Each structure stands twice: as C-alpha cells, then as structure tokens.
Amino acid sequence: MEKSELGWKADRESQWQSHKLHSSGVIGRIIGCNRNVAQVRSEAGCFQAHIPSLGSQLNAYPVVGDWCVTSKPEDENSYLRIIEVLNRSSQIRRKKAGRATEVQVIASNVDFGVVLTTRTEEFNWNRLDRYLTMILCENIRPIICLTKADLDPDNSATREMVQSRFPTIPVHSVSTATGQGIESLGALLTATETSVFLGSSGVGKSTLTNTLLGTESQSTQSVRSIDGKGRHTTSSSQMFHSPTFGWIIDVPGLREIEPWNAHQGIDETFLDILILAQQCPFRNCQHEDESGCAVQHAIKLGQLPARMLKNYRRLIREQREQDERESQQTPYSKKKRDKAASKSQRQIIKSKYRY
Ligand SMILES: Nc1nc2c(ncn2[C@@H]2O[C@H](COP(=O)(O)OP(=O)(O)OP(=O)(O)O)[C@@H](O)[C@H]2O)c(=O)[nH]1
Ligand SMILES: [Mg+2]
Ligand SMILES: [Zn+2]
C-alpha cells in the first residue's frame, strides 16, 4: 500500500525529504495500539513495534493515527523500533480519567471527527457538546451521526433538533439495521482521508465500522437492556481501511470526556452564547445575575436553553482548573496553552457567516 493510500498528504512529503532520518528510517502509520505493542503499516507491509515506556527518549507517546519513523523492517516477525513520531496535523485529546492533570491523546492525524450518539429518553446534549469541543478545537471536520434510527420513531424530528443547534455541521440519522442514512454518511468520507468514530459505549461505533467496511472486522455486543449502557466491547483503538471510505478509527467508548486545552473548541461549540455575550454590558460578564446580561435575557425568553449555559459553564470551569493545575506543575505551560488557542473569539464569530 502506498503512503498516499495510508493517508499521507503532499505537504508532509517535503518536510520528510529534509528530515534528518530520511535516509536511514522508514515511514509508517500506527494502525493499532494494544498495551505496549503497536501495529505499524508502511509501504513494505504490516509490522509490529514495541512502544517505548513513557519516560523514554521518544518525542511523543505514539497513538493510533500517528505517522512515525521506524527502523528498517528485517523480516515479517521482527519487531520494528519507533524512532520518532512525526508532528500531528490534528489530535483528539482529553484529560486522562482520574485525578492527575495529564493529557491523553486518543487518535491523531484525523480529517473527520464523527460523533455518534443515539436518542434514549432524553437527548444527551452534554456528551455531544463535549465531543464536539474536542473536535472543533482542532483542524478536524465534524460530523454528527444519530445512530439506531430504526429504534427512534421520531428520528427525523431528532435530526432536525440537533441540526438546528449546530446549523453548520452535517447531521445524519443512520441505522445499520435498515441501511438508512449509510449512503449519505459515506458520501462525506473520502478514500484517502481518516475518520475517527467517537461516542459512548454501545452507541454502535463498531457496528457502523463493520457496515462501512462490508466486513465483520470489529466485534460488537448487545447493550445491557436494564440500563441501556454498553459493555465496553472495544478495548483498544484500531484503524481500518475501506477503499471507498478511507481510514476509520474505531475507539473504545469513553466514560469521562473532559476536553484538553479546548478554549477554542468551547467557543466554537457554544457559538450562540458567544454571539449573545457580545451584547452583555460587561466585557467579563459571567452570565449569572449581572443586570442587562443578554445571555440570561435570552434564556428568560426561551431563546436559549438553560442547560446549554450550564454545560458551557462546566466546560469553562474545567479548563480553568486544568490551566491552574498545569501552571502549578510547570511554570511555563500556561503560556503554551494560551498560545495554543489560536483563533480569536472575533474570528470564530465571523466564521459563522461564511456558510
Ligand atoms: N437496532 C439497532 N441496533 C444497533 C444499530 N447499530 C448498532 N446496534 C447494536 O448496538 C449494540 C452495540 O453496538 P457496538 O457497535 O458494539 O457499540 P460500540 O459503540 O462499538 O460500543 P463499545 O465498543 O463498547 O464502545 C450491538 O448489539 C449492535 O447490534 C442500529 O442501527 N440499530
Ligand atoms: Mg466497539
Ligand atoms: Zn452576560
């Protein structure tokens, strides 16, 4: 398989030509990670590589989707050495579950971030907001996929409800059981690009992966009927290739989703609040009980759901906590984080009118 089929883009080639390891190393893409072994796919074939421990000299801890420079493969059974992880064009990042303030990269070099969600009794806006925040703070095109449409008799109303909240993001109702929406979703994906499927356990990520691949590559499992929760069938991330739909990264469902360093992603996801806030009399309005607050006014008029402000506030609070904890850990990291939020709020608001 050629590099371009693996998702290698032309702009990487010139960088690689002048890379210090150009003559001694081989380019490969990490298509699977399980504990400390990675599957690496290169033009020469598919190989295994040991993932060095976290404290090693490697510039980044490799994840699925990464391009890396490896030692030259000797034979099919020998393990490659990962020498360097190349700069990522995008990454899906969250705060590692648990107490430590550390980042976990879930997938990298992704072109499409497909968020899968399904309508149970109440629509879970909070999870959708969080997944979109992770996607929108990166150079990744978002797609929302409402799964198991066959089980939602009002699926077209659900789609419209979600579409009106996110007017610029493609929203598709799909069912792997009836085939509804599969074709129109597939039409967005391209043969040489990479999509990551994100969503709670049991939402149907692996089933949709299999449907698009036309194979049973990933195992799937029915959801516990009592609480409707999945069982975490997929336990490690893996990337699959379809000649039509390109690379699909199927990841395990995440229980805790706290986006990492995601100020810009929050601004993009909660654009409605950002626009209203421009009319608040105070520049640093917290939208609580300040007089004349345009956000609170919109809530009173029923133009903005109160839960949206609640989710927004929670995300902002988490980001502040991350910033504070990180600046305690390393004095310079705060500066780095601020710089990472590259697009200004003004630019984000302006971009709304591009569509
Ligand atoms: N009725 C119906 N069931 C579906 C559909 N898609 C998936 N399912 C079922 O939902 C269950 C869970 O699907 P999976 O694909 O394993 O879910 P997952 O998101 O990969 O879950 P994790 O790997 O645990 O993160 C399986 O029993 C599927 O058969 C659908 O469109 N309609
Ligand atoms: Mg799965
Ligand atoms: Zn306000």
CA distance 324 to 158: 39
Q: Which CATH class is domain 263-352?
A: mainly alpha
The answer to whether 10-85 and 91-250 have equal CATH topology is: no
Is the minimum distance from the CB of 150 to ligand 1 under 6 angstroms?
A: yes
CA distance 242 to 1: 12
How far is the centre of ligand 1, averaged over its atoms, from the C-alpha of 219 (Å)? 10
Nearest to 286 by CA among 263, 306, 327, 316: 316
Is the minimum distance from the CB of 173 to ligand 1 under 6 angstroms?
A: no
Mark the residues whose beta carbon lies below 5 A from ion ligand 3: 280, 285, 287, 293, 295
341 pLDDT higher than 60:
no
State mean pLDDT over 347-354: 65
> Of all residues in the chain, what percent carry a pLDDT higher than 70?
91
- The single-letter DSSP state of residue 190 is -
Is the minimum distance from the CB of 119 to ligand 1 under 6 angstroms?
A: no
CA distance 85 to 58: 8
Partners of 98 in the β-ladder: none
Report the nearest atom of ligand 1 relative to the CA of 234. Answer: 23
Is the minimum distance from the CB of 176 to ligand 1 under 6 angstroms?
A: yes
Angle between helices 333-340 and 306-329 (to 10 degrees): 140
Q: For strands 141-146 and 112-117, give the pairing.
A: parallel
8 Å CB contact between 140 and 134: no
CA distances from 147 to 88, 151, 272, 287 (A): 29, 9, 26, 34
- Judged by average pLDDT, the poorest of 26-30, 152-156, 189-193, 351-355 is 351-355
Instruction: Give the pLDDT band (50/70/90) at residue 328.
Output: confident
So what's the pLDDT on residue 342? 58
How far is the centre of ligand 2, averaged over its atoms, from the C-alpha of 51 (Å)? 23
So what's the pLDDT on residue 195? 98
State mean pLDDT over 185-191: 96
Mean pLDDT across the chain, nearest whole number? 88
State mean pLDDT over 150-173: 95
At 247, list the tokens. Answer: 């690379």
Pocket test for ligand 1, best of 207, 209, 248 (most atoms within 8 A of CB): 207
So what's the pLDDT on residue 227? 47
CA distance 30 to 63: 7
Specify the amino acid at residue 110.
V
- The single-letter DSSP state of residue 151 is G
> Residues 6 or more apart from 193 whose CB is under 8 A from it?
7, 111, 112, 246, 247
3-state secondary structure of 72: coil
8 Å CB contact between 157 and 123: no
CA distance 108 to 91: 4
CA distance 68 to 183: 33
Is the minimum distance from the CB of 177 to ligand 1 under 6 angstroms?
A: yes
Is the minimum distance from the CB of 229 to ligand 1 under 6 angstroms?
A: no
- Tell if the pTM clears 0.75, that is, is over it: yes
Burial class (CB in 10 A: 0-12, 13-18, 19+), 144: buried
CA distance 120 to 136: 25
How far is the centre of ligand 3, averaged over its atoms, from the C-alpha of 273 (Å)? 9
- Judged by average pLDDT, the poorest of 23-37, 48-62, 133-147, 305-319 is 48-62
8 Å CB contact between 287 and 296: yes
Q: What are phi and psi of 162, to 5 degrees?
A: -70, -40
Domain ranges of the chain: 10-85, 91-250, 263-352
CA distance 336 to 302: 39
At 193, list the tokens. Answer: 């690009």
End-to-end CA distance of the chain: 37
> Of all residues in the chain, what percent carry a pLDDT higher than 90?
66
Q: Which CATH class is domain 91-250?
A: alpha beta
So what's the pLDDT on residue 335? 52
Angle between helices 125-136 and 306-329 (to 10 degrees): 50
Instruction: Give the pLDDT band (50/70/90) at residue 347.
Output: confident
> Residues 6 or more apart from 13 whose CB is under 8 A from it?
none
Q: Which CATH class is domain 10-85?
A: mainly beta
Is the minimum distance from the CB of 255 to ligand 1 under 6 angstroms?
A: no
So what's the pLDDT on residue 59? 84
For residue range 102-141, list pLDDT tens digits in order.
Answer: 899 999 999 999 999 998 777 899 999 999 999 999 989 9
Distance of CA 309 to the CA centre of its chain: 22
CA distance 245 to 309: 36
